[in-house]
């Protein structure tokens, strides 16, 4: 940044200096002597700036980038020394003889300048065909010779009054300038993008210098050269531009590192730069009469020839490139073909109509068809025509068709494909829509025969089950007989015999535990054990676990101290108790007699933390992680001495991981160990909301005062305003006075019955529009009174979810704004979706996390849940599992959208009401909108149907 700022300041300085100089030179102000001194000083300062700036640039560079800058620095030095001589001889000695010592330095500078440009070109040239580069360079040079000869060189060449050396030096200037200018132009046109600025400046500087130099030679020859004239400007500007280039050069040689990502950035303008001298030469030739000038005509012809050659070369290069590309495409195609041909999976593509466009040999082999038989026909009708049970499988219901229609990819694992011979095989397939420019053009289906895998899975399950059974059966007899003997049921035994039997019993128990643990861990790690989560209290779980190990602790003389906090969890209670029991029994086993094992439960942010601490011998630091592995006791003798199976901690770790928690151990040798694990906590109980002004007023009418009290409290907690009536008569009066928003009415009441009350309410103009929700032990069907219009019906005993649901519906008038609960952690996306829903008249409640979603769903009963899988805290699975346990929420239609591909098992876990899966990135906003609308419409239909039932 600092570098860039300095460069900008210097650029402005150079521009201002040049503009000032131009203005001053044009104005003609000052005496000729003063003007000469100013231009002398300008030369000195400019050339010195080149030496310094390029010297510094060279210091910043690494080889090989240092060399050209060093050469440029040398050029600047040579210029400076030349200028000093010039100043000394002209201004102080008044000696204007030619050639003079300064000319030696100027010539040296020319040579060094050319060398630096060549050096730049070698490190900075883009990759291109060397022949073409040569042609281009020669074309530029010839064009410049043409121009120079026409404008300057010829006159200099024929100049009289200069001796042999003088003429040679004089000629060296324009000739060297031609080389300089050619190289500079070439550098500007062909340098890499990253180094363009510095090389552009070098090029511009040398061009400017070359023009001034040639002018000097020309004017000198015709005897009209004078200091303090416009000739000074290109000279000084040339110096300053090269000095600026030195400033522009970044350190390090970054352009080499960027080489890899260098793109072909040729532009028409940069190509034209190469032709600039040629164009100028042509322009000159057009305006002037060249007849008779053999050199010019010869040069012009040579230029034309070179241009023709370059063009031919470029055409040849283009042709070669096209051929190479074609060959590459053919090669890739054949590679793809062989991949398709050699794939063990069946792969076929279909068009929008479901007809096969390509099919690989495996697909044909797997289905028992010839490739030709499959092509061009609707694949579904050949291999997918029936479901596993043999019933027809309509084309419209096939997931492959759905992917053509909706652009949604899906993985299907519970279907079969049919072979040509009429047999079928279990198949797993993936259907992926092909999308081109936003439009679906077809789909690719990849499938594999999973018969073997299914058979293996079945065999493994069966084996596990049989082994378990076969081991247990003899153990049952052994354990039973030993137990009867050891328990003294068959009479008392000698002490030693009793001890032996006790050993036999305890080891039989250990063997049984071992079998259980092995089965347990096998099931858990194969993902077969699913969690049965429910609300539980941490204190209860700890109490249960302590109860299990209490007798063992008593036997060992170990005291168990618990300090639980009453935290609530959303977990599988059996599994958590199993984990706690494992940790507790370990702690007891490793505690010294008289020791204490303490259990602590604490909230840790949103998690619940369980810790079990013992005062045992501790675990070495290098084993802290290993103890959670299978059969990883710290000491090999532990399994014998302590009677453990060696699997307890491994099982605990699996359980905790399945809950989305973490387990670890802290230990101090000789002082004890603390095993801790976390389980995601459940949201805190919601405080009862205040009754806000304008809250809906519910009139509750029931002859049972306890119902009034309970329902009143429930409604209050939900933020409703409540009025009560203990009879129909009172309800009718109260309704006229207080105008409730809704009436909650019992049917069976002494005096005026519920139905009579409804009639009375409807008969009065003040109360006739008030929706009535019946609250009764009679179900709507039993009551058989559907003729009387009531808004809704809630059965007793009251389920608060259903009650609030009914109230919300009645308040909305049955068809008010629908509510969508959107669970999405990406705020931007959420805003977009909310806006889309708002346009459809949907009210959106946005939850940023699973936790917030659970909290919101206790407050609002949504008509639709839109869920992003992959939320930060509780993942979407937990949200759905929790909602499923909620009576009023378990039938909500659900729209799951996710960036990850869900397999069939995932999808099963995510079902709620009608459930639709969308994959992010494979669905357009319009599709999304359409799916939501469809779900809502179907849901409305379903509700209307339920209401008429």
Partner 1 sequence: MTARRILLIDDEDHIRQVAQVSLELVGGFEVLTAASGPEGIAAASAHHPDAILCDVMMPGMDGPATVSGLRDLPATRGIPVIMLTAKVQAADLRRLSALDVTAVLSKPFDPLTLPAAVKAALGWTP
Quick one: which segment of 470-478, 696-704, 793-801, 825-833 binds partner 1 (CB under 8 A)? 470-478
Tokens coding 343: 């794939």
Dist. CA 46–CA 350, nearest whole Å: 73
3-state helix, strand, coil in the chain (%, to 5): 60, 15, 25
Q: Does 526 bind partner 1 (CB under 8 A)?
A: no
Tokens coding 397: 């219901």
The correct pick among 523, 907, 911, 943 for binding partner 1 (CB under 8 A) is 523
C-beta closer to partner 1: residue 501 or 879: 501
Q: Does 490 bind partner 1 (CB under 8 A)?
A: yes
Q: Shortest gap between Cβ of 513 and partner 1 (angstroms)?
A: 11
Q: Shortest gap between Cβ of 560 and partner 1 (angstroms)?
A: 23
Q: Which residues between 527 and 586 bind partner 1 (CB under 8 A)? A: 528-529
The correct pick among 282, 519, 552, 602 for binding partner 1 (CB under 8 A) is 519
C-beta closer to partner 1: residue 490 or 668: 490
Q: Does 477 bind partner 1 (CB under 8 A)?
A: yes
The correct pick among 468, 598, 785, 916 for binding partner 1 (CB under 8 A) is 468
Q: Does 713 bind partner 1 (CB under 8 A)?
A: no
Cβ density class 476-504: b for 16+ within 10 Å, e for less: eeebeebeebbeeeeeeeeeeeeeebeeb
Q: Does 11 bind partner 1 (CB under 8 A)?
A: no
Dist. CA 795–CA 740, nearest whole Å: 21
Q: Does 479 bind partner 1 (CB under 8 A)?
A: yes
Q: Does 476 bind partner 1 (CB under 8 A)?
A: yes
DSSP 8-state code for residue 437: T
Quick one: which segment of 134-142, 335-343, 473-481, 634-642 binds partner 1 (CB under 8 A)? 473-481
C-beta closer to partner 1: residue 390 or 487: 487
Dist. CA 86–CA 225, nearest whole Å: 14
Q: Shortest gap between Cβ of 490 and partner 1 (angstroms)?
A: 7
The correct pick among 332, 381, 460, 472 for binding partner 1 (CB under 8 A) is 472
The correct pick among 469, 593, 637, 670 for binding partner 1 (CB under 8 A) is 469
SS3 655: helix
Tokens coding 638: 């532990």
Closest residue by Cα to residue 714 from 786, 658, 798, 770? 798
Q: Shortest gap between Cβ of 338 and partner 1 (angstroms)?
A: 44
Interface with partner 1 (CB under 8 A), residue total 26
Q: Shortest gap between Cβ of 402 and partner 1 (angstroms)?
A: 32
The correct pick among 360, 508, 776, 844 for binding partner 1 (CB under 8 A) is 508
The correct pick among 11, 365, 516, 762 for binding partner 1 (CB under 8 A) is 516
Backbone angles phi, psi at 803, to 5 degrees: -60, -50
SS3 360: coil
Q: Which residues pair with 721 in a beta bridge?
A: 697
The correct pick among 101, 480, 816, 941 for binding partner 1 (CB under 8 A) is 480
Q: Does 467 bind partner 1 (CB under 8 A)?
A: no
C-beta closer to partner 1: residue 520 or 873: 520
Which residue, chain included where needed, has tokens 């801790």?
676
Dist. CA 844–CA 821, nearest whole Å: 6
The correct pick among 55, 361, 368, 483 for binding partner 1 (CB under 8 A) is 483
Tokens coding 88: 């000394």
The correct pick among 512, 710, 752, 802 for binding partner 1 (CB under 8 A) is 512
Closest residue by Cα to residue 652 from 586, 593, 578? 578
Q: Which residues between 908 and 947 bind partner 1 (CB under 8 A)? A: none
Segment (H or E) for 664? strand 663-668
Q: Shortest gap between Cβ of 484 and partner 1 (angstroms)?
A: 5
C-beta closer to partner 1: residue 469 or 949: 469
Which residue, chain included where needed, has tokens 């299907």?
412
Dist. CA 430–CA 419, nearest whole Å: 19
What are the residues whose beta carbons fall under 8 Å from the beta carbon of 828, sequence distance 6 or more?
A: none
What are the residues whose beta carbons fall under 8 Å from the beta carbon of 494, sequence distance 6 or more?
A: none
Q: Shortest gap between Cβ of 486 and partner 1 (angstroms)?
A: 9
Would you give the binding string for partner 1 spanning residues 64-103, x where CB under 8 A is met?
----------------------------------------
Dist. CA 355–CA 378, nearest whole Å: 4
Q: Shortest gap between Cβ of 584 and partner 1 (angstroms)?
A: 21
C-beta closer to partner 1: residue 468 or 886: 468
The full DSSP string for 782-829 is HHT-TTS--SEEEESSPPHHHHHHHHHHHHTTTSS-EEEEEE-S-HHH
Closest residue by Cα to residue 867 from 826, 815, 818, 809? 826
Q: Does 484 bind partner 1 (CB under 8 A)?
A: yes
Question: How, if at all, do strands 410-418 and 607-613 pair?
Answer: unpaired
Q: Does 781 bind partner 1 (CB under 8 A)?
A: no
C-beta closer to partner 1: residue 474 or 797: 474
Q: Shortest gap between Cβ of 552 and partner 1 (angstroms)?
A: 15
What are the residues whose beta carbons fall under 8 Å from the beta carbon of 323, sequence distance 6 or more?
A: none
C-beta closer to partner 1: residue 454 or 943: 454
Q: Shortest gap between Cβ of 482 and partner 1 (angstroms)?
A: 9
CA 676 to chain centre: 33
Quick one: which segment of 340-348, 430-438, 483-491, 845-853 binds partner 1 (CB under 8 A)? 483-491
Number of residues written out for the chain: 949
Quick one: which segment of 264-272, 352-360, 417-425, 479-487 binds partner 1 (CB under 8 A)? 479-487
Closest residue by Cα to residue 544 from 579, 520, 510? 579
Q: Does 733 bind partner 1 (CB under 8 A)?
A: no
Q: Does 458 bind partner 1 (CB under 8 A)?
A: no
The correct pick among 92, 93, 160, 489 for binding partner 1 (CB under 8 A) is 489
Dist. CA 396–CA 900, nearest whole Å: 25
C-beta closer to partner 1: residue 155 or 509: 509
Q: Does 727 bind partner 1 (CB under 8 A)?
A: no
Question: How, if at all, do strands 697-701 and 721-725 pair?
Answer: parallel
CB count in 10 Å sphere of residue 110: 24
The residues of the shown chain that bind partner 1, judged by CB under 8 A, are 464-465, 468-469, 472-481, 483-484, 487, 489-490, 508, 512, 516, 519, 523, 528-529
């Amino acid at each position: 940044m600092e570098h860039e700022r300095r460069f900008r300041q210097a650029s402005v300085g150079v521009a201002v200096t040049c503009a000032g100089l131009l203005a001053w030179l044009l104005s003609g102000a000052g005496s000729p002597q003063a003007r000469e001194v100013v231009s002398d000083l300008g030369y000195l300062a400019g050339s010195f700036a080149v030496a310094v700036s390029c010297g510094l640039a060279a210091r910043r560079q690494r080889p090989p980038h240092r060399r050209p800058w060093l050469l440029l620095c040398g050029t600047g030095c040579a210029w400076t020394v030349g200028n000093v001589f010039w100043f000394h001889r002209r201004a102080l000695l008044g000696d204007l003889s030619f050639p003079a010592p300064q000319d030696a330095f100027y010539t040296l500078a020319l040579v060094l300048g050319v060398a630096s440009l060549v050096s730049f070109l070698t490190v900075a040239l883009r990759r291109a065909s060397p022949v073409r580069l040569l042609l281009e360079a020669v074309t530029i040079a010839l064009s410049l010779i043409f121009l120079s000869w026409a404008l300057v060189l010829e006159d200099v060449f024929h100049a009289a009054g200069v001796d042999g050396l003088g003429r040679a030096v004089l000629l060296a200037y324009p000739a060297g300038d031609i080389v300089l200018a050619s190289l500079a132009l070439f550098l500007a046109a062909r340098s890499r993008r990253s180094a363009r600025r510095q090389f552009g400046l070098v090029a511009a500087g040398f061009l400017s210098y070359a023009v001034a130099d040639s002018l000097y030679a020309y004017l000198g020859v015709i005897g009209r050269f004078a200091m303090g004239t416009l000739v000074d400007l290109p000279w000084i500007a040339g110096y300053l531009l090269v000095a600026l280039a030195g400033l522009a050069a970044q350190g390090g040689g970054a352009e080499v590192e960027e080489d890899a990502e260098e793109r072909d950035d040729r532009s028409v303008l940069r190509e034209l730069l190469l032709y600039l001298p040629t164009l100028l030469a042509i322009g000159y030739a057009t305006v002037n009469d060249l007849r008779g000038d053999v050199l010019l005509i010869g040069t012009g012809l040579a230029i034309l020839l070179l241009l023709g050659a370059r063009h031919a070369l470029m055409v040849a290069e283009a042709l070669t490139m096209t051929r190479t590309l074609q060959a590459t495409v053919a090669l890739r195609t054949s590679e793809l073909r062989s991949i398709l041909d050699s794939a063990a999976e069946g792969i076929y593509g279909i068009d929008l109509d479901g007809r096969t466009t390509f099919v690989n040999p495996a697909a044909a082999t797997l289905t028992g068809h010839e490739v030709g038989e499959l092509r061009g026909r609707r694949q579904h009708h050949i291999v997918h025509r029936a479901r596993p049970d043999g019933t027809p499988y309509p084309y419209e219901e096939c997931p492959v068709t759905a992917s053509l229609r909706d652009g949604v990819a899906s993985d299907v694992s519970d279907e079969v494909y049919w072979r040509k011979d009429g047999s079928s095989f279990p198949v797993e397939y993936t259907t992926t829509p092909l999308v081109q420019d936003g439009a679906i053009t077809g789909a690719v289906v990849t499938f594999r025969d999973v018969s073997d895998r299914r058979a293996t899975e079945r065999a493994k399950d069966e084996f596990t089950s049989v082994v378990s059974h076969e081991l247990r059966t003899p153990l049952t007899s052994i354990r039973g007989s030993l137990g009867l003997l050891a328990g003294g049921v068959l009479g008392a035994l000698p002490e030693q015999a009793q001890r032996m039997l006790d050993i036999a019993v305890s080891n039989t128990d250990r063997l049984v535990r071992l079998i259980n643990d092995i089965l347990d861990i096998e099931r858990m790690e194969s993902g077969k054990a699913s969690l049965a989560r429910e609300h539980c209290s941490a204190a209860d779980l700890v109490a249960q676990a302590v109860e299990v190990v209490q007798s063992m602790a008593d036997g060992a003389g170990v005291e168990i101290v618990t300090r639980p906090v009453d935290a609530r969890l959303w977990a599988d209670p059996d599994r958590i108790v199993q984990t706690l029991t494992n940790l507790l029994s370990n702690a007891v086993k490793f505690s010294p007699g008289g020791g204490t094992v303490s259990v602590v439960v604490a909230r840790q942010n949103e998690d619940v933390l369980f810790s079990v601490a013992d005062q045992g011998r501790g675990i070495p630091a290098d084993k802290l992680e290993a103890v959670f592995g299978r059969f990883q006791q710290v000491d090999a003798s532990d399994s014998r001495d302590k009677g453990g199976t060696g699997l307890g901690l491994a099982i605990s770790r699996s359980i905790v991981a399945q809950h989305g928690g973490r387990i670890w151990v802290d230990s101090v040798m000789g002082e004890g160990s603390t095993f801790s694990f976390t389980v995601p906590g459940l949201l805190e109980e919601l405080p009862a909301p205040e009754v806000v002004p304008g809250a809906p007023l519910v009139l509750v009418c029931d002859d049972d005062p306890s119902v009034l009290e309970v329902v009143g409290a429930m409604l209050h907690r939900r933020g409703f305003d409540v009025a009560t009536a203990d009879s129909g008569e009172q309800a009718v009066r109260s309704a006229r006075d207080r105008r409730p928003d809704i009436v909650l009415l019992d049917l069976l009441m002494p005096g005026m019955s519920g139905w009579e009350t409804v009639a009375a309410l409807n008969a009065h103009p003040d109360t006739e529009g008030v929706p009535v929700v019946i609250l009764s032990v009679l179900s709507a069907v039993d009551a058989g009174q559907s003729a009387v219009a009531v808004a809704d019906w809630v059965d007793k005993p009251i389920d608060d979810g259903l009650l609030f649901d009914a109230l919300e519906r009645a308040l909305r008038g049955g068809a008010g704004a629908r509510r969508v609960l959107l669970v999405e952690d990406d705020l931007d996306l959420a805003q977009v979706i909310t806006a889309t829903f708002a346009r459809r008249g949907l009210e959106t409640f946005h939850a940023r996390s699973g936790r917030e979603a659970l909290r919101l769903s206790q407050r609002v009963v949504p008509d639709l849940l839109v869920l992003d899988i992959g939320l930060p805290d509780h993942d979407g699975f937990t949200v759905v599992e929790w909602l499923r346990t909620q009576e009023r929420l378990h039938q909500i239609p659900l729209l799951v959208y996710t960036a990850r591909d869900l397999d069939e098992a995932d999808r099963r876990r995510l079902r709620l009401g009608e459930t639709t899966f969308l994959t992010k990135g494979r669905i357009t906003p319009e599709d999304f909108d359409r799916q939501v609308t469809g779900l809502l419409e179907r849901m409305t239909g379903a509700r209307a149907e339920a209401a008429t039932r």
